[in-house]
Structure 1
Amino acid sequence: MTKNEYVPFLSEVLEVIPHTDIEYTFRMSYVGDVRPGQFFEVSIPRYGEAPISVSGIGNGSIDLTIRRVGKVTNEIFEQYKGTSLYLRGPYGNGFNTEDYQDKELVIVAGGTGVSPVRGIITYFASHTEKAVSAALIAGFKTPKDILFREDFALWKKRLNVILTVDDNTADPTFPQGLVTKYIPGLEFKDIKNAAAIVVGPPAMMRFSVKALLERGLSEEQIWISHERKMCCGIGKCGHCRIGDAYVCLDGPVFNYSRGSTLLD
């Protein structure tokens, strides 16, 4: 019998990890193949569903970091305690670690854009021998908006990490400035062996990619994620279509040689 991709399955909420007042990571029961950068549809009957990127992969579990911004996510925050949620997926393609092995890897992420690349960052932080070098530039609006604080503490011990905020008035110990401020200062031993991942709001991605190209990387050396464009997950509703691409099917992860035509 052919599986109906529209039918969700019930997944137990194993743990809830608050980051900010409106952003929590939900650790959900799940057994199956999944990659960083893919996404699941999370639903509550009568309220609808929302596409959420995978922010972590465990043994028998996945992490979904959810921001409380609308009808469905409001209900998820209200109803999660001691219960389960409906999921369907995973959908789309994700990040392939093999694309970045033995490279000088740079990851540039803004705000909730850290979520879909968290798995890649964690992989290379745990397997530093797999890359020539690995650097992370992550930006948030203010110190109170920072996600995955415990992860950042660990990543800083193993990777070259720049954690910056737009406004450090509340805590001047944080570097201040957009992520693009720090790209010109990146050092490469061999620019032809570099690889970069950029995820975040459209304007942040556009200017970050521009800065990386100016540093000497080619379009083929850069990957982006259109995770904000996801909708039904199976290419039926058409909301994610950009040109001839369906983000939920062809993406959300794209090499920039193709993704350059999809930026909005």
Structure 2
Amino acid sequence: MQNPYIPVPAEITKIVKQTDIDYTFFVKSDMNLKSGQFVQLSVPKAGEAPISVSDFKDGELEMTIRKVGKVTDEIFNKEIGDKLYIRGPYGNGFSPEDHYGKELILVAGGTGLAPVKNFINHFYDNLDKLKSFRVIVGFKSMKDRLFVDELNKWSQKFPVNITLDRPEEGWIGSTGFVTDHINKMLMKDMENTHVVIVGPPPMMKFTALGFSKIGLKQEQIWMSFERKMSCALGKCGHCKIDETYVCLEGPVFRYDKAVNLID
């Protein structure tokens, strides 16, 4: 029986710069994943960190990583042909089937767009499974935008509203926080509307409250928690909130569960 703590090597095949501190790393991998799950990514002698998987297909896994510490600093020093070490996948992800036949709204803040990129691509390829699909994405500024080409591609099939906290000269899109745009939404069928929210905890909290105020029930909203996973196997307790292990039961939760998860 394989030791679940031992990672396997994965060769880097491509590196794409998204912003000054966000790069997307493509590695060879045959992992069987689900949108919203995460992996534990390690560099020998530097350590290990939980990383969301932004996309996966054809023996390739894609991770969009922000340079924020010792482990990610070492990852950013890697080049094509080098190896990263991965174990997983872990956690409870998004189930696209939960939303079939619904009016679906996805709201992402900043790097929260990365864990749902595969989820969005699923519906880009299967738009007939939904009654409608809308995406709202908030970034701090133009230089903080992720997946610009994909955002343009998606907007050819369904509405994609990009809003900036700090608009700059030449920006012709929306401005303000994602929560500023909730009240502008007209949903034809409130009872058959689902919302997926991913981003920083305050953004998710107030976005969920905003949708609740306009009539959505808690069981119509999903969100993904960002936590410092350590073992990812429910043993160390680092990600535990009350009696809930986020690495096992999350990071994706329906809001009627998530609303009670308070540190």
TM-score category (smaller protein): over 0.9
Amino acid of the structure 2 residue aligned with 1:166: D
For 2:213 and 2:152, locate their aligned partners in 1 and report how far apart those are by CA, in whole Å: 30
Normalized against structure 1, the TM-score is what? 0.97
Structure 1, gaps ≥5 residues long:
none
For 2:91 and 2:169, locate their aligned partners in 1 and report how far apart those are by CA, in whole Å: 39
Q: 1:3 Cα deviation (Å)?
A: 2.0
Map Cα deviations across residues 107-154 of structure 1 (whole Å, 9 max, x no partner): 011000001111111111121101000010100000100000010001
Q: What corresponds to 1:249 in structure 2?
A: 248
Q: 1:21 Cα deviation (Å)?
A: 1.0
SS in 2 for 1:158: coil
Structure 2, gaps ≥5 residues long:
none
For 1:122 and 1:222, locate their aligned partners in 2 and report how far apart those are by CA, in whole Å: 20
Map Cα deviations across residues 8-59 of structure 1 (whole Å, 9 max, x no partner): 0000111111101110111111113101100011101111011001100111
Q: How many residues are paired up? A: 263
For 1:11 and 1:227, locate their aligned partners in 2 and report how far apart those are by CA, in whole Å: 24
Contact persistence 1:26–1:64 (CA under 8 A): yes
For 1:248 and 1:228, locate their aligned partners in 2 and report how far apart those are by CA, in whole Å: 8
For 2:54 and 2:186, locate their aligned partners in 1 and report how far apart those are by CA, in whole Å: 28
For 1:232 and 1:42, locate their aligned partners in 2 and report how far apart those are by CA, in whole Å: 11
Map Cα deviations across residues 66-114 of structure 1 (whole Å, 9 max, x no partner): 0000000000001234211000000001000001111000001100000
Amino acid of the structure 2 residue aligned with 1:163: I
Q: What corresponds to 1:51 in structure 2?
A: 50
For 1:66 and 1:258, locate their aligned partners in 2 and report how far apart those are by CA, in whole Å: 28
SS in 1 for 2:53: strand
Contact persistence 1:108–1:198 (CA under 8 A): yes
Percentage of identical aligned residues: 45
**Cα RMSD after superposing both structures:** 1.1
Q: 1:210 Cα deviation (Å)?
A: 0.3
For 2:193 and 2:14, locate their aligned partners in 1 and report how far apart those are by CA, in whole Å: 37
For 2:241 and 2:28, locate their aligned partners in 1 and report how far apart those are by CA, in whole Å: 33
Q: What corresponds to 1:181 in structure 2?
A: 180
Q: What corresponds to 2:81 in structure 1?
A: 82
Q: What corresponds to 1:100 in structure 2?
A: 99
Map Cα deviations across residues 160-194 of structure 1 (whole Å, 9 max, x no partner): 11001100125432321000011111111110001
Q: 1:227 Cα deviation (Å)?
A: 2.7
SS in 2 for 1:169: coil
Normalized against structure 2, the TM-score is what? 0.97
Q: What corresponds to 2:133 in structure 1?
A: 134
